[in-house]
Structure 1
Amino acid sequence: MSTALALFLALILDALMGEPDWLWSRLPHPAVIAGRAVAWLERWLNHGAARRLKGVCALVILVATAATAGFLLSLAGLPVEILCAAILLAQKSLVQHVSAVADALRRSLPEGRETVALIVSRDCRDMSEPQVARSAIESAAENLSDGVIAPAIWFLVAGLPGLFVYKIVNTADSMIGYRNDRYHAFGWAAARFDDLLNLIPARLTGLMIALLTGQLRQWPEIVQDARRHRSPNAGWPEAAMARALDLALAGPRSYDGQVRQLAWVNGTARKDIGADEIDATVAILWRVWALLLVVVAIATLPLLSLV
């Protein structure tokens, strides 16, 4: 129950404070430290033969280190747990980054392209306004799961060790979990473990979006779209968000100068979208956050009754 209370307070603290520049301009953010660890292991191990096995070893090192760090910090007590959890939750920063795309797009299309390029890995230079909006909405849906719901779930399940393990694996997947010549073998373990850790959170995120937007009746269609998605997990929140906003997501996009013909999500819905649809997405992000907060608050009631 103390973990639920810590999460409840951490969710509020993150929503109020986000990522304060005054702090992280002076200290390395935990995500930066995690990224450096992944990069160091990749440079050390990702060469020669048996790269898949070396990738497994790298993942074991990362997971063991993260779990140990989480356990040691948890010994410092509830205030430290709350602070660590708030730092590793990403609701406020997610909303800020997505809202910034809408604001930039209203100023000009080139500004919208530049701003969305900060949160997506696809080619943005020649995007149309609807493509910019779709990219921002897809990123919002996926990162609602990866940055808020999944960390919260793993914190509830296993405390700070669980949260730290999830974040290091998610960071590793974002850096080395690509199917290209350099990372396909070495990043295989990180990518597969990240898929496993996000299996339930992604589906729960999609369910929460559908519930809060009155789209549960379309759950069979959401499931169909999610299963057509290139990612085993990202398709669930994206498909639910597409139905919630009555628009089409995913579809063809360019990576490294090559167009990839990816399947549409809710492909018969509206495709001519812009900043207003991004704003509507942000509103749904906050509604899902509020539902999560209520659920966690209910979980804390038995503890509070003992006080």
Structure 2
Amino acid sequence: MSTAAILFFALLLDAIMGEPKWLWDRLPHPAVLMGRAVSLLDNRFNPAHGGFKAGALTLVLLMSGAYLLGWGLSQLGGVVQILVTAILLAQRSLVQHVREVADGLRVSLGDGRRAVAMIVSRDTGAMDRSAVARSAIESAAENLSDGVIAPAFWFLVGGLPGLMVYKVVNTADSMIGYRTPRYEYFGKAAARMDDVMNWLPARLTCALIALPAGVAGAWRAIARDAAQHRSPNAGWPEAAMARAIGVALAGPRAYDGKMQEFPWVGGAGARIIGPEAIDAALHRLWQAWGLMLGLVLIFALFG
């Protein structure tokens, strides 16, 4: 079975099954195991705010272990690869988590805040309805790239070893890739590698959102908006999503009790929004997923 065929069935399986709670209540999710590995090496090599070399060594060990594990699993056949790949994709779970924010907002602002607090790291206690909706939409766009398109891309490029390497780098970045006293230097290698590995998938995600939404003609404007984002990659899917559903994203938000002024992405779009805007973003998530699925099928049949 070809790599593209394996990915096609894995994308379908993930979309149908998602993350079965009954299974992950009994077994640790692979992402949890990767997180434990990162924590283990963090404690081993970074007990006193280690430097860049210690962080780079940690990253090399994580990537090497992930590659070897992926290679070993790939020797077990196509069915195993489909199952493992589906587990490491996150389309259905992403849609579910974002939909919970829309459902919560329809009940009350407090319910919306509690739901969005599960998927973003910013302060949510003082958010209004628009800020809750924006946060959910931004998370949807960014995680479509990180959790679906990028893993699929690296599977196509490098099979299961490539996917496993991407996932462990992404996990490491989410845990140690921060500009804090502890991780300023130790986590820099993980943060930079995550930027590199997401560079092309982020722009691919942008195109997958923009094309079915009919806003690809505004690519220059999307690129200009993306450049306003503090991340070199996250701005691309967010800028495409902002144009696709006609809302303004990013803007001011609070972290650790301090309000920070960030530029607007798609600033000409609506700024007073609610659950209906989240619904529109979810529709765009499935459109992008469907376009990706169609491209993978073409690769499987003719590539």
TM range (shorter): over 0.9
The secondary structure found in structure 2 opposite 1:198 is: helix
Q: Distance in 2 between matches of 1:144 and 1:62?
A: 24
- Say whether 1:10 aligns with 2:10: yes
Q: Distance in 2 between matches of 1:34 and 1:48?
A: 22
Deviation digits for residues 107-155 of structure 1, max 9, x if unmatched? 1101100110000000001100000000000000000000000000000
Deviation digits for residues 152-210 of structure 1, max 9, x if unmatched? 00000000000000000001111111111121111100000000000000001111111
Q: Could you tell me the percent identity over the aligned residues?
A: 60
Could you tell me whether the CA contact under 8 Å between 2:49 and 2:181 is conserved in 1? no
Q: Distance in 2 between matches of 1:50 and 1:152?
A: 33
Q: Which amino acid aligns with 2:297?
A: A
Task: State the Cα distance separating 1:258 from its structure 2 match.
Answer: 1.2
Task: State the Cα distance separating 1:238 from its structure 2 match.
Answer: 0.1
2:189 corresponding residue in structure 1 = 189
1:205 corresponding residue in structure 2 = 205
Q: Distance in 1 between matches of 2:15 and 2:160?
A: 19
Shift in alpha-carbon separation, 1:50–1:19, aligned structure 2, 3 A: closer
* Worse-superposed segment, 64-73 or 252-261: 252-261
How many pairs align? 303
1:1-307 paired onto structure 2 within 5 Å = 2-48=2-48, 50-302=50-302
Q: Which amino acid aligns with 2:281?
A: T
Q: Which amino acid aligns with 1:259?
A: M
Could you tell me whether the CA contact under 8 Å between 1:46 and 1:54 is conserved in 2? yes
Could you tell me whether the CA contact under 8 Å between 1:202 and 1:236 is conserved in 2? yes
Task: State the Cα distance separating 1:47 from its structure 2 match.
Answer: 3.3
Deviation digits for residues 219-268 of structure 1, max 9, x if unmatched? 11100010110000000000000011111000111111111111110112
Q: Distance in 1 between matches of 2:167 and 2:182?
A: 23
Task: State the Cα distance separating 1:50 from its structure 2 match.
Answer: 4.9
Task: State the Cα distance separating 1:43 from its structure 2 match.
Answer: 1.4
The secondary structure found in structure 1 opposite 2:121 is: coil
Shift in alpha-carbon separation, 1:175–1:46, aligned structure 2, 3 A: same
Task: State the Cα distance separating 1:300 from its structure 2 match.
Answer: 1.2
Q: Distance in 1 between matches of 2:261 and 2:302?
A: 51
Q: Which amino acid aligns with 2:63?
A: V
* Worse-superposed segment, 44-53 or 80-89: 44-53
Deviation digits for residues 7-29 of structure 1, max 9, x if unmatched? 00000000000000110000000
Q: Distance in 1 between matches of 2:44 and 2:145?
A: 31
Could you tell me whether the CA contact under 8 Å between 2:52 and 2:188 is conserved in 1? yes
Could you tell me whether the CA contact under 8 Å between 2:49 and 2:183 is conserved in 1? no
Q: Distance in 2 between matches of 1:7 and 1:258?
A: 43
Q: Distance in 1 between matches of 2:135 and 2:71?
A: 37
Q: Which amino acid aligns with 1:102?
A: A
The secondary structure found in structure 1 opposite 2:267 is: coil
TM-score (norm 2): 0.98
Q: Which amino acid aligns with 1:95?
A: V
The secondary structure found in structure 1 opposite 2:254 is: strand
Q: Distance in 2 between matches of 1:108 and 1:228?
A: 32
* Worse-superposed segment, 11-20 or 206-215: 206-215
Q: Distance in 2 between matches of 1:156 and 1:64?
A: 19
The secondary structure found in structure 2 opposite 1:300 is: helix
Q: Distance in 1 between matches of 2:175 and 2:139?
A: 16
Could you tell me whether the CA contact under 8 Å between 1:247 and 1:271 is conserved in 2? yes
Q: Which amino acid aligns with 2:254?
A: S
Q: Distance in 1 between matches of 2:46 and 2:253?
A: 29
Task: State the Cα distance separating 1:216 from its structure 2 match.
Answer: 1.3
Q: Which amino acid aligns with 1:14?
A: D
Q: Which stretches of structure 1, 4 residues or longer, exceed 6 Å deviation after superposition?
A: none
Q: Distance in 2 between matches of 1:13 and 1:240?
A: 27
Task: State the Cα distance separating 1:48 from its structure 2 match.
Answer: 3.6
TM-score (norm 1): 0.97
* Worse-superposed segment, 153-162 or 293-302: 293-302
Task: State the Cα distance separating 1:49 from its structure 2 match.
Answer: 6.7
CA-based RMSD:
1.0
